[in-house]
Amino acid sequence: MTTKLKGLHMNKASIPVTGENYSDPRREFLKNVLAGTAAATVLMASGPGVAATKKFALPENIPDPYKAKHHWIYVININNCIGCGNCVRACKRENSVPDTVFRTWVERYLLTNEGVYVESPKGALEGFEHYNEEIRKKAIRSFTVPKLCNHCHQPPCVQVCPVGATFKAPEGHVLVDWTHCIGCAYCVQACPYAVRFINPVEHKADKCSWCYHRTSKGMRPACVTVCPNKARLWGDMNDNEAEVTKIFNEGQWMVLKPQMHTDPSVFYVGLPKEVI
């Protein structure tokens, strides 16, 4: 099965994240990790300033992205999202996601004095229809919010996987190894964000991988690439000049469900309090 996306042709069998050809990038990763770890060790030893920049407390069994060559994070600027659904379509095509499930989706909120209208028809695959006149009259404000896997630093899905098929990769991705997943769906239950699902075709756990097959080759995730208004940004926190690092350092961001203590790697700028 071949997927097409703005001139990019990719055979499904070559998608490494949840398929059999995963070992090559992983080997590359390990090399990078070794190099990164060595470099980080030298830096750590050189003075306390570097250690002081560490932003998360990590459980012992999770690799520390600050020691890796890259530390990828994802930033969503709500003020820039226009709810076009390009990202959802791109994700579907890039990752051959079946119709009934979603690796990413967009929600539309409309706030009124009576309460909140939230919807995401087909995950916003076809965008949104106009509100009817009755609801529009009541509207105080409306906005759209993209959702995807938060690639948490303390991921409940990784914790509960009984065979270790779901794991945290050294540079921040939370991935599923389809050669080991038994399809028990415990990870689906444990994820507070409902970004996981059992792939109805493969009968294995599936989720956003930040397009690992692209990002491990220096490309950006498909959803970031197609976003027309820079609502979705993706970059390396280890690069001080990266746009995401600057946004992160400004500190004007929020994460989803902070009460779950999952330490997400997806940061929202301009996130209204009504968003769950």
Partner 1 sequence: MGALGLESLPGDAMINYVFPNNEHVFWSVMIVIYPYITGLVAGAFVVSGLSHVFKVKEFHPIGNFALIAAFCFGLFAAVPLLFHLGQPQRAYEIYATPHLTSAMSIFGYVYGSYMVVLMLEIWLIYRPFFIKKANEGAGGLFGLICRVLTLGIRRYTPEAAHVDHKFATILAGIGIPWAFTLHGYVGFIFGSVKSIAWWATPLQPIIFLMSAVVSGMAMLMLMYCFLMWKRKQPIDMPMMRKFVAFLWGFFILDFVLEMLEIMFAKYEHGHHWEVVYPLLTGPTLKYSFIYGQVLTLSVIPVVLLGFIVLKKMSDKMTILWTNIACFLLVMQVLFMRFNVVIGGQLISKSDRGFVSYQFEVLGREGLIVACGILSAPFIVYFILSRFIPIFEDPAAGAYESEPRA
- Which parts of this chain interact with partner 1 (CB under 8 A)? 61, 100-102, 105, 107, 112, 114-120, 122-123, 147, 156, 158-164, 180-186, 188-198, 202-205, 259-260, 274, 276
Residue 145 near residue 106 (C-beta atoms within 8 A): yes
Alpha carbon distances (Å) from 104 to 123, 188, 244: 8, 15, 20
- DSSP code at position 129: P
CB-nearer residue toward partner 1: 49 or 162: 162
Q: Which residue has the tokens 């490309």?
A: 219
- The distance of closest approach from Cβ of residue 75 to partner 1 in the complex, given in angstroms and rounded to an integer, is 21
Which residue, among 251, 264, 253, has the nearest Cα to 76 in the 3D structure?
253
- Comparing CB distances to partner 1, the nearer of 203 and 246 is 203
Least distance in angstroms from the C-beta of 89 to partner 1:
14
**Nearest approach, Cβ of residue 193 and partner 1 (Å):** 7
CB of 57 to partner 1, least distance (A): 16
Closer CB to partner 1, residue 99 or residue 243? 99
Measured in residues, the chain has a length of: 276
Residue type, 97: V
- Own/partner pairs, 53-58, CB within 8 angstroms, 24+ separation: 56/153, 56/263, 57/263, 58/153, 58/154
Of residues 104, 266, 100, the one with CA closest to residue 198: 100
Nearer Cβ to partner 1, position 2 or 23?
Answer: 23
> Tokens for 139?
């509207």
Identify whether the C-beta of residue 97 lies closer than 8 Å to the C-beta of residue 91.
yes
Least distance in Å: CB of 38 to partner 1? 28
Query: How far apart are CB 113 and partner 1 at their closest, in Å?
Result: 10
In the complex with partner 1, the residue whose CB is nearer, 10 or 271, is 271
For partner 1, the closer of residues 151 and 204 by Cβ is 204
Nearer to partner 1, 6 or 203 (CB): 203
The residue whose two tokens read 């969503």 is 76
- Shortest Å, Cβ 46 to partner 1: 34
CB 151 within 8 A of CB 266: yes
